[in-house]
Structure 1
Amino acid sequence: MMRSLTFLMALCASGFADAQSVIEQPTVPVAGFAMDLVAGAYIAPTPASGAAQSWDFSDVAGSTVGLQQVLPASTSSLAPEFEGAEWVNSNGDQLTFWRWENGGMSIVGNANAASLVTIPFDDSLIQWTYPLSYGDVHEDTFVCEDTLFSLPYSLQGELTSEVDAFGSIALPNGVSLSDALRIHYVQSYTEAYDGDTAVWVLTQDMYVVQDTLLPVFFQEQLVVTDAAGNVLVEADDVAWYDNTVVAVPETAEADLKRAYPNPVDAGRGVRWPLRPGQDWQVMDLEGRILVEGRCGAEGEVRLDTSDWPSMVLLVPVSPSGSTGNGVQRLMVKGG
C-alpha cells in the first residue's frame, strides 16, 4: 500500500494535485442530529485512480432501513461505561461511543441499549484522521477482553483506511457535490464468546465531503466466517443518508425491527419482526442452520431458544437465496 517516490513525483507533475480537495475536521451541531439511513442494491466501486473521477449515483433506488442519530454522549445512561466519550452514534439499539482525538473520530466502545451490554475497547480506535487528502493511509488495532453474563468474551481487530480516489459525486437524493474524497476502508475482527468464534470482515468504500461528519454515500460488503474459514454470512449493499434533522429530540425513534429480548434466557421465546413473506434462518457460529422458515402475514417470527448455543446469528435471506442485510447477533444466556 506504500506508493513509490517516483509515482508521487509523477502525480504532482501531472497537475492532478491541484484538483484534489483537502477535507478538514467537521463540526458536530451542539445538540446533535439525525438522518434516515437508506440502502439499495450493491454497486461495485470504480478502480482507485490518481485522476479525478465522476461518480453518478443519481438513479440508485433504495428504501429507509433505520435512523442514524449523533447525540452528546451524556444523553445515554450507558455513557459512564465509556470514559472520555463525547458523542454517541445510534442506529436502533446499537450504540457507538466516541470522541475527537488526535485529529480523528476515536471510538471508545460499543453497546446495546436493549440488552445493556457494553464493550469498551482497551485502546480507542481511530478510523482516519483529519485533515484528509488523496493518498492518506491510516492503520489501527482494537481489543476488548471482558466478561458478559459470567462468560468470557473477546474482540480483537484491525483496520486500514486509504483515500484512493477523488472527484465529484451525484447522490440519489438529487444533490451533486464536488471535491469528494473516497476512503477504501477494511475492518476485520475476531469475536469469541463462550468457546464460539466468528471472524467479521467489513469492506467499505466511503465518499466524504467538506463539513459532513458521516460519509454521504458508501458501498459495503460483509463476510462472516467461523474459526475454520467457512462462510456463515455474506451481505452487500450501498447506503446513504437523507432527511437530516439538526437538534434531535431525545424521544426520536425508528422502526428498527430488532429481535427481542436480546439477550434471552435459554428456553425462553424470542420475537423477531420481519416483512411478511421474508425467508429467514437461524445459524450457529459454525454455520449450522438451527431453524429456518418464512415470515407469515402477521409480520413476526417467534423463536424457541431451547438447546441453542450461547450466540447465534439471525439471518434474513434474499429472494435469490443469498443471506442478506439485517443480520443480528442473539445472545442466549445459559445456552
Structure 2
Amino acid sequence: MTWADTGNGRLKRRNAAGTQWVDLGPLFSEPATPPDGALYASQAWVNRRLSQFGTPLTVVAPNAIPTTNMGEIWVEGYGPYRWGAGVYVPNKLPAKHRNNSGVTTPSNVSILVPAGNWRAESDFCDIILAAARTKNLQASGGWTAGEGGNGICSGVRAINTPYHIFVILNPTTGAVDVCLDTDPNAANRPAGFTQYRWVGWRVTDASNVIIPLLQNGMFFSWGYRRADASPVSVTSSGLNLSLSVPAGRICRADISIVGRLAGTKVMITPGGLATTGTITDYTGDGGPVGADTPTSRLTVTTSTAGQIYMRAPVTSNWDVFTVAFEAID
C-alpha cells in the first residue's frame, strides 16, 4: 500500500511486516524553476543555479560563517565571501568600485567620510563603511579608532601639509575606520588594517587649518584658485611644474595660465612627458599677475608626481593657477 504524505510532500509505502512506512521520494518532482508566487526556492534549486557559474559555493547563514578556510562561500543575504587574514570578508564588489558622495569638512580641523562601500586598493575584498565617520586632524596624540577620534596616523597636524584620506579595514576583526596620512599609499596606517582605499585629500595652510576644497565624488574644486607659479620662467629646455593636486594620483587638472610676454607661446603636457616638437598650443597676451581673465583655460593630465611639463620657444614668465581637478583611480 502506498500513501501520499501531503504534510511532508513525500510518497511512502508500507513495509511487508506492516510496521513502518518506507520513504519512496518526493510526492511531486521539483520544477526546474520555482513557480510564480513561490516564497522560497529549495536549497537543491539554489545549488543547481550556483553550479551554472562554476564550482558550487557552500551556502551558510550569517550567524554561521566558518572560522576555518573552506574556499569561497556564499553568505545568505550578503553574497560571496573569501578567506583572508584568518577570517571571511565580503567579496562581491567589482574592481575599482566606489560608491560614496565624497569627503566633507565639518570644521577647519576635521574631515567627514560619508557611509559608502569601496573595493580595496589591492582588489582583495570589499570595504564597507556602514555609517559616516568624522576624524580630527589632531594637534596632539596619535590615531584613535571610532567616530570623532584622532585621524592622522603618523604625527600631528602640521602647517602647509597635504593629507591623503583613506577608509581602512582590519580583516581579522572586521573593523572599518578612517585615517589620514602624508603617504599616498597609507604606509603609516594603524596596525592590523591591511586593506585600504584612497577616498580624498586635504591640505593645511600657514595657519594650520584646512584650506577650503569642495569634493563631489572624485571631483575637487578649490574655494579659490591656487597660484602654483607666480610666475615661473619657462625656457626652450622645458621644466616640470607641480600643481595643487594630490601626488601619488593621476589627475585631470583644470588650470588657467597667464603669459607675461605678449605673443609668446607655451606647450603644456603631462609631467615627465618632455617634448621637442613645434610649439603652437597656447599663446600668452602679457596679462598682469592674477588677471581675472586668464590667457588660457585648459585641462591637462598630471603625472603621479602631480606635475605638468612646460616648454616655450623663448624664455618667458608664466603664471599658473589650479582651479579644480579630478582624481583618476
Interval of TM-score (by shorter of Structure 1 and Structure 2): under 0.3
Task: Using structure 2 for the length normalisation, give the TM-score.
Answer: 0.26
Bigger-Rg structure (1/2):
2
Task: Using structure 1 for the length normalisation, give the TM-score.
Answer: 0.26
- Larger relative contact order (Cα-Cα within 8 Å, sequence gap ≥ 6): 1
